Amino acid sequence: MNVWIEKQKYLIDFTLASLARRKAKNLGLLLVYSLIVFLLASVMLFTHALRQAANELLAGAPEIVLQRMVAGRHDLIPPGYLERIARLRGVLEKQGRLWGYYYDPVVKANYTFMVADDRLLAPGTLVVGAGLARTRGVAPGNLISFRAYSGKLFTFSIADILPAKSELVSADLVLLGEADFRAFFDIPPGHYTDITLRVANPLEVRNIASKLAQQFPDSRPILREEILRTYDSIFSWREGIVLALATLALLAFAILAWEKASGLSADERREIGILKAIGWDTGDVLRMKFWEGAMLSLSAFLLGYLAAYLHVFHFSASLLAPVLKGWAVLYPRFELSPVIDGLQVTTLFFFTVFPYAAATLVPIWRAAISDPDAVMRG
Amino acid sequence: MPVSRPSHLALGLLCCCSALFAVSLVDAARLRQQRAGSGQEMLALVRQLQLTDLCLFTEARYTRHPSQADLHSAFQDHPLALEHFPSGSLLLPPATLSGHHERLDRETEVPD
């Protein structure tokens, strides 16, 4: 066993000396390889942690949200709906929600205005999200003015700012009292944006939703499981940007491996010829090249993965933020809770380490089984 | 045997990287515990305000609240209009939307 280990060590020594002869090329290869792994691992870790966060947080979302549709668009719930819903058996709680969007031309950002019933906000006061406070540069006690869609100017005082740690769900929120909301958006009493329902028996949610759809044909019930499914599909590896990035990275990787597999440089061929001429057998040459491929791909995988881990969980995925931000002015600052999926990491390992190791071995094997004289002559 | 053999150095570096990989798993567990508090705080806010979406994409209403958006909000201006917002390329329509229509063609006994 010791002899075997010693032999492998000598092979590694020889491999490293051979790699050092083409230092720039091999360091460049290691860098590009690590970057590809870094990109793939960053997206993978980020989307998985975000999907997990969405699953955990939105487990607290309402069981059913009932929207009213008019001509295919979301419309206000008129008076009388809440009372009719109360007559449905199995509905434990119902509540009309008041919320809407406001475009702030000062900072060119969209806010979500929302009535917070249980916060008992005094008339003329607001509680705002930490992202909004940062973008608009406001602090508790400051005054802030918004021009309503009616053209009237409303001035509010900032009562409080929502905790910065909750930006992932509250960065753009503006919480205000019901009377202020109705006055600002000119919504008559008894009308609501939508209705949320709590159902006594969770197994009955679908039944209640179908009853709602029957009794209110102009409405659209949205179940919590649909909300969760929406977020699951947004950040699934099969969807959108994740797929685009993964495809690009894999294509780049395929080019890299192809370049390696399609042929050897004249130097490498000569080196194999000399080794065979001085007595190395095919197995030794293959083992030496195996160590070369394994060391390079393993180092690239570990370096790329570790950099991706630090980037996503210690630097808030700052390189991915511009992609997610799009044209939005207001973007939340958040730290994701690390959730590492063993299967994903293993898949990444197999997709990046093995093809490269295999791609290096095939041409070497072809060169190693041919006559040393023919190989050296090219 | 000389200590500074290249193979020892390379294997040592690989071992260091592997150890750092293991440390990253321990660090993940530590961070998860450390950040659990803010997760609970957010969950309480979601329950209290009955929130339905994450505040990730604030550029358009159907990207701010993808789960509450109109069914065809991405094409709201014109049926053939291209998506305006960059986050529209990240957000695909919810999978549930495509399953809404029953397949009736197989039920027709007499061909039209």
Per-residue pLDDT of A310-360, as tens digits, reads 999 999 888 888 877 777 888 888 889 998 889 989 988 988 888 787 777
- B45 and A67 within 8 Å at the Cβ level: the answer is no
Confidence of residue B75 (pLDDT cuts 50, 70, 90): low
**Domain ranges within chain A, ordered by starting residue:** 2-58+234-377, 63-224
CATH number of the domain at A63-224, out of 3.40.50.300, 2.40.40.20, 3.30.930.10, 3.30.70.1350?
2.40.40.20
Is the model's pLDDT at B78 over the cut of 60?
no
Per-residue model confidence (pLDDT) at position B103: 47
Residues 6+ apart with CB under 8 A from A233: A239, B92, B94, B95
Task: Check if the beta carbon of residue B7 is closer than 8 Å to that of residue A25.
Answer: no
Name the residue facing A166 among B6, B38, B95 (closest C-beta): B38
User: B4 lies in a domain?
Assistant: no
Q: Which of A12-21, A33-42, A185-194, B65-74 has the lowest mean pLDDT?
A: B65-74
CA distance A276 to chain B (A): 22
Q: Count the Cβ atoms, other than its own, within 10 Å of residue A14.
A: 18
Cα-based angle A36, A251, A45 (whole degrees, multiple of 5): 40
B21 lies within 8 A of chain A by CB: yes
* Domain that residue B61 falls in: 38-92
Number of domains within chain B: 1
Decide if pLDDT at A217 tops 50: yes
Average pLDDT in chain A = 87
Give residue A220's identity as a one-letter amino acid code: R
- State the count of interchain CB pairs (< 8 A) between A and B: 212
Domain presence at residue B53: yes
- Tens-digit pLDDT profile for residues A247-264: 787 787 777 777 766 667
Q: What is the ipTM of this complex?
A: 0.82
Mean pLDDT of A302-315: 95
B18 belongs to a structural domain: no
Q: How far is A262 from chain B (nearest CA, A)?
A: 27
Choose among B49, B63, B95: nearest Cβ to A116.
Answer: B49
| In contact, B55 and A172? CB cutoff 8 Å | yes
Taking 80 as the threshold, does the pLDDT of residue B80 lie above it? no
Whether the CB-CB separation of B35 and A316 falls below 8 Å is answered with no
* Integer Cα distance of A77 and B40 in angstroms: 32
pLDDT at site A133: 95
Q: Give A-chain residues touching B18 at CB under 8 angstroms.
A: 302
* B71: chain A residues, CB-CB within 8 Å: 72, 220
Residue B30 counted as domain residue: no
